[in-house]
Structure 1
Amino acid sequence: MTISLLDSTGLDAVTTRAHIEAALDEDLAWGPDATTNATIGADIIGTAKIVSREPGCLAGVPIAALALQITAERDGVDLDIEVLKNDGDTVDAGQPTLRATGAVRTLLTAERTALNYVSQLSGVATATHAWTQALQGTGIAVRDTRKTVPGLRILQKYAVRCGGGINHRMGLGDSALIKDNHIAATGSLAAAFTAVRSKFPELPVEVECDTLEQVAEAVNVGAELILLDNMAPDVVREAVAITRPAGIRTEASGGITLDSVAAYRDTGVDYIAVGALTHSNRVLDLGFDLA
């Protein structure tokens, strides 16, 4: 098995492999797996499964598999790895997602790194899936933010896609987002927008608005997308009434939770931004069971 395992993910294989290798190195920075090497003979063969302990939505199963495979390559052994569930699949408690057979030393050395990836990313996917279910039938999509764990952005945003969400900008250079500090620094919303459009004419430009007056100004200057920051549902409806005739999309953001999202279902907003998808999600409980 090679890095072609990642083909279904759309992730860059070289970059992802380097990330996994760094994670494995982190676990072995103080020496080899002392416990495993002391208790397990090099010739002992076994089978391990990654099993879900609770219902959820998966992301990172191929990444966990690659962590196992890279460890096997380093150990000079072969593993037979079978992916049983695909990223984006939902699982119930007790369902196996991956099976690997080979040297038990290798399996146990890679166990925590493999679980760290699939548990963290499946937590993101599971949270995103809950939002997509809550917004089903509304035409509203849930989007992530740049509030990601440092070093994990590409993988976390991949997990959002696995859960049915949509990615916002990946970084600072693939689109522009004019926020309150940019407006304060340039003197006005119009001045900030004109400066961005002049210097980066090809980039999509989103404008953050706190008031309906700012929304009207953003429409007038030609914004393509308006972020409605910390607006109550009734104010969001008013904002959409301003933007929709101009064909401008809107995104509601700020303090919206699964408990409060029902109030936004009929506002007409296009997106709801949820930073919690990546900055404070709970990992999915997955176990590594050795047969």
Structure 2
Amino acid sequence: MISEAQFQEELLSLIKNGIREDIGPGDYSSLACIPDSAMGKAKLLVKDQGIIAGVEFAKMIFSHVDPTLQVETFMHDGTPVQHGDVVFHVFGSSLSILKAERLVLNSMQRMSAIATKTYGYVKLLEGTNTKILDTRKTTPGFRAAEKWAVKIGGGENHRFALYDMIMLKDNHIDFAGGITQAIHKTKQYLEEHNLDLKIIVEARNLAEIEEILESEGIYRILIDNFNFEDTKKAVALIGDKCLTESSGNINEKTIRQYAECGVNYISSGALTHSIYNMDLSLKAF
């Protein structure tokens, strides 16, 4: 996984690009009718229900836009919310609040939806030893915030990107000439470039799992698109030789049964790519 410093850099880059995209040369709507000296306050109002996420990120956005803005927080990241709840108040320059408004709302609405969906999956896994993981199926440019939201919802992060973990999937295996060749070439590459990265290998059937297990140093096997019975067989076959992960069209109706097959992790792209934004608004008062 990436370091905390790298993660913070990603968040800052996201904020800078979001402000650039939205403000450009100036917020002319606000500049045209509001004096520079105007001071105001606004509240973050919930018009939905679920798990709130992005409160700390909103503070980062406000601070980046104007360090003099002050935020009074009433509900923290990970808190269940319902229609009518007020999450925070923000005080300061009216122009600054308006500059930050859309990026704050866009971010919090999406992050809250992701945290809510993740929390639902976590609840479905209660009583098992299986943990829910996100994937790289994220919104371009917004990955850091989305992965943060998964953690707020009680899930765990998979690799952040292509550079912090090795994941040999079907195309890598086919292009490399097979599983054993792909693993061997990967280990050589890591040694030659002095890289210390964990290796995950995808298996499409039980025969491929047997071949993967012939190689040492595999961190996790991705049991991809297996049915329940074959997943149980795969888990038994792997034993404690490495960790296991199920993926592939797993949803709310099937996630519990896959967990009961004994896998360590279940990864789901739906946490980030199939959600409906939470309804939030920032209202002056």
TM-score > 0.5 by shorter chain: yes
1:23 and 2:18 correspond: yes
Name 1:189's counterpart in structure 2.
179
What is the rounded CA distance, in whole Å, between the counterparts of 2:197 and 2:8 in structure 1? Answer: 27
What is the rounded CA distance, in whole Å, between the counterparts of 2:129 and 2:84 in structure 1? Answer: 33
Name 1:4's counterpart in structure 2.
none
Offset at 1:191? Answer: 1.2
What is the rounded CA distance, in whole Å, between the counterparts of 2:262 and 2:50 in structure 1? Answer: 29
What is the rounded CA distance, in whole Å, between the counterparts of 2:153 and 2:202 in structure 1? Answer: 26
**Distance verdict in 2 for CA 1:31–1:79, change over 3 Å:** closer
Q: Could you list the per-position Cα deviations for residues 99-118 of structure 1 after superposition, in whole angstroms to 9, with x for gaps in the alignment? A: 11223333223211111111
Q: Could you list the per-position Cα deviations for residues 48-77 of structure 1 after superposition, in whole angstroms to 9, with x for gaps in the alignment? A: 11122222222221221232233335xxxx
Aligned-residue RMSD, C-alpha:
2.1
1:225 and 2:215 correspond: no
Query: TM-score, normalized by length of structure 1?
Result: 0.87
8 A Cα contact 1:33 1:109, kept in partner: no
Offset at 1:196? Answer: 1.0
Name 1:60's counterpart in structure 2.
54
8 A Cα contact 2:134 2:155, kept in partner: yes
What is the rounded CA distance, in whole Å, between the counterparts of 1:79 and 1:53 in structure 2? Answer: 24
Name 2:101's counterpart in structure 1.
111
What is the rounded CA distance, in whole Å, between the counterparts of 2:101 and 2:28 in structure 1? Answer: 11
Offset at 1:186? Answer: 2.2
Q: Which residue identity does 1:86 align to in structure 2?
A: H
Gaps of 5+ in 1: 1-8
Name 1:281's counterpart in structure 2.
275
Number of equivalent positions: 277
Offset at 1:44? Answer: 4.0
Which residue, 216, 219, 234 being the options, matches 1:239?
234
1:88 and 2:78 correspond: yes
Q: Percent identity?
A: 32
What is the rounded CA distance, in whole Å, between the counterparts of 2:54 and 2:6 in structure 1? Answer: 11
Name 2:251's counterpart in structure 1.
257
Q: Which residue identity does 1:242 align to in structure 2?
A: L
Tell me which moved more, 94-103 or 10-19.
10-19
**Distance verdict in 2 for CA 1:15–1:240, change over 3 Å:** closer
Q: Which residue identity does 1:139 align to in structure 2?
A: N
What is the rounded CA distance, in whole Å, between the counterparts of 1:154 and 1:68 in structure 2? Answer: 18
> What secondary structure, in the 3-state scheme, does the structure 1 residue paired with 2:42 have?
strand
1:164 and 2:158 correspond: no
8 A Cα contact 1:62 1:83, kept in partner: no
What is the rounded CA distance, in whole Å, between the counterparts of 1:166 and 1:213 in structure 2? Answer: 29
What is the rounded CA distance, in whole Å, between the counterparts of 1:103 and 1:215 in structure 2? Answer: 60
Gaps of 5+ in 2: none
Name 1:3's counterpart in structure 2.
none
Q: Could you list the per-position Cα deviations for residues 171-219 of structure 1 after superposition, in whole angstroms to 9, with x for gaps in the alignment? A: 2122211111122122221111111122215321111011111111111
Offset at 1:79? Answer: 2.6
Name 1:290's counterpart in structure 2.
284
What is the rounded CA distance, in whole Å, between the counterparts of 2:135 and 2:13 in structure 1? Answer: 24
Name 1:154's counterpart in structure 2.
144
8 A Cα contact 1:141 1:270, kept in partner: yes
